Amino acid sequence: MKLDVITIFPEYFAPLDISLLGKARRAGVLDVRVHDLREWTHDRHRTVDDTPYGGGPGMVMKPDPWGEALDALAPRVPGTPSGTIPSAPGGGLPTPPVLDETSPATSEGASGPVPRLIIPTPSGRPFTQADAVRYAAEPWLIFACGRYEGIDSRVAEEARTRMPVDEVSLGDFVLAGGEVAVLVMVEAIGRLLPGVLGNADSVADDSFAPGAMESLLEGPVYTKPPVWRERPVPDILLSGHHGAIARWRRDEALRRTARHRPELLSRLAPEVLDKHDRAV
């Protein structure tokens, strides 16, 4: 998988060299390139922001450096619309097709793969494990890290005329910029790539993993010693009864979900519930 990151703080991405993702990069499963947005500025101060139209606090990222960066990383295929839609009434080109999360997975055309552009923003739709699974199957992702009050809206709008664009949020809180959000998403995606995790089975048992664990939180885990500070490991885990252990784990997952995320339980699809779940 090829991964481009555009940011004004390339130093934020040093952690991608270590641990699991570092291993994936050295193994050649993951090709990450971090780009400094200021390379696509042309003024002495390498300006990337300006005051917001309509007034208000904070600054907005200027569209020009972003447009040039995206043109450089994902060159427009000759013959496709420029994306400049003249606003003059009755004039201009027909609106080009809009590519978004409902578009099919990145397709391999005659000119090679089209990247998916991912823009982290607290006003995006929630990023979930299902997105991580979908993104892990794509050949090429571009992450655009906004700062300040965000990126001029026309950047995403114009990019949508030539690649799928997803605006995604990590949750209901506000970060200072997209960099940390991108590190989070790249780790969630990277650990799903073939050959990155030691034990491929561990992915299926994850909280939120598609299948039996969809909408469930994983329960407690234990290792040796069998008694620690007078606290024994639950007997069932030492019993060797694999069926009973699986049932116990599922009951614990249901209990933990009820306690920490009650709204997830009402979302459980009937087909992922087994006939013993109701008793918990």
Known binding residues for S-adenosyl-L-methionine? 146, 170-175
Residue placing its CB nearer to ligand 6GU in the complex, 145 or 253: 145
> Could you give the string, one character per residue 119-138, with x where binding to ligand 6GU holds by CB under 6 A and - elsewhere?
-xxx----------------
Among 46, 62, 81, 169, binds ligand 6GU (CB under 6 A): 169
Residue 181 lies near ligand 6GU (rule: CB under 6 A)? yes
Contact positions with ligand 6GU (CB under 6 A) in 203-222? none
Give the type of residue at 173.
F
Q: What is the C-alpha separation between 7 and 13, in angstroms, rounded?
A: 10
Among the listed ranges 108-116, 151-159, 166-174, 186-194, the one in contact with ligand 6GU (CB under 6 A) is: 166-174
Binding site residue list: 146, 170-175
Residue 41 lies near ligand 6GU (rule: CB under 6 A)? no
Residue 174 lies near ligand 6GU (rule: CB under 6 A)? yes
Residues belonging to the active site: 122, 149, 191, 206
225: cis peptide before it, omega within 30°? Answer: yes
- Measured at CB, which residue is nearest to ligand 6GU? 120
Q: Which residues pair with 33 in a beta bridge?
A: 4
Residue 171 lies near ligand 6GU (rule: CB under 6 A)? yes
Find the shortest distance in angstroms from Cβ 141 to ligand 6GU: 14
Among the listed ranges 35-43, 93-101, 103-111, 177-185, the one in contact with ligand 6GU (CB under 6 A) is: 177-185
Residue 22 lies near ligand 6GU (rule: CB under 6 A)? no
Among the listed ranges 20-28, 169-177, 205-213, 214-222, the one in contact with ligand 6GU (CB under 6 A) is: 169-177
Give the type of residue at 213.
M
User: What residues contact residue 179 under an 8 Å CB cut-off, 6+ apart?
Assistant: 7, 9, 12, 13, 145
Find the shortest distance in angstroms from Cβ 170 to ligand 6GU: 4
Residues that bind ligand 6GU (CB under 6 A): 120-122, 169-171, 173-175, 177-178, 181
